[in-house]
Amino acid sequence: MNLRPDLAIIAQNVAPGSRVLDVGCGDGALMAALRDTANVDARGLELNPANVAAAVGRGLSVVQGDADTDLADYPDQSFDYAILSQTLQTTMRPHVVLDELLRIGRLAFVSFPNFAHWRVRVSLLWGGRMPVTRLLPLAWYETPNIHHVTIDDFRAFVREQGLTVEGAWFLSDGRPARPAAANFFAEHAVFLLRR
């Protein structure tokens, strides 16, 4: 299974035989891996029509839809896990999307790029322009990212919402980053949440 590092962490932590909704599933790589290695019943929601076609071409159950508007159509607690990988920062109302994830699934995985990573900070400090990095490869006017969340921002948000963190993983260059200084050293984060 050759998955993006955050997706590999999610795949390793989804219980076999689970029902999963992958919101912003891209081309379905995670769903296919879960189906093939853990007998997971995976469904997907994806905005990009080319990605929907690619996922369906893999034999996956994916519909075209928008996380900001279409999650309300799913019944309460209809999945064991709802997954939102590298999508939170692109949604119009992240707090509403996260609330919907935890209504739909018993647990929710959320991964996002950390806008407080030291490379982002240095790029902004010394270059004076919005950073372009390996994980944030697009210029400010091309990026779908509209909310620049940091790990510390997300931790505070989770506390304010009264959510429980069941697990947290921090990555830099695809490898684990130090949890104690994750806001500075981690390029992206993965959280497993429950109400």
Q: Report pLDDT for 130.
A: 78
pTM for the full predicted model = 0.93
Q: Please, are residues 178 and 161 in contact by the beta-carbon 8 Å criterion?
A: no
Strands 105-113 and 164-172 turn out to be unpaired
Q: Report pLDDT for 186.
A: 95
For residue range 123-137, what is the model confidence (pLDDT) as tens digits? 888 888 777 777 778
For residue range 52-76, what is the model confidence (pLDDT) as tens digits? 999 999 999 999 999 999 999 999 9
Q: Report pLDDT for 76.
A: 97
* Residue that the structure tokens 């992206």 belong to: 188
User: Mean pLDDT over residues 83-91, rounded?
Assistant: 95
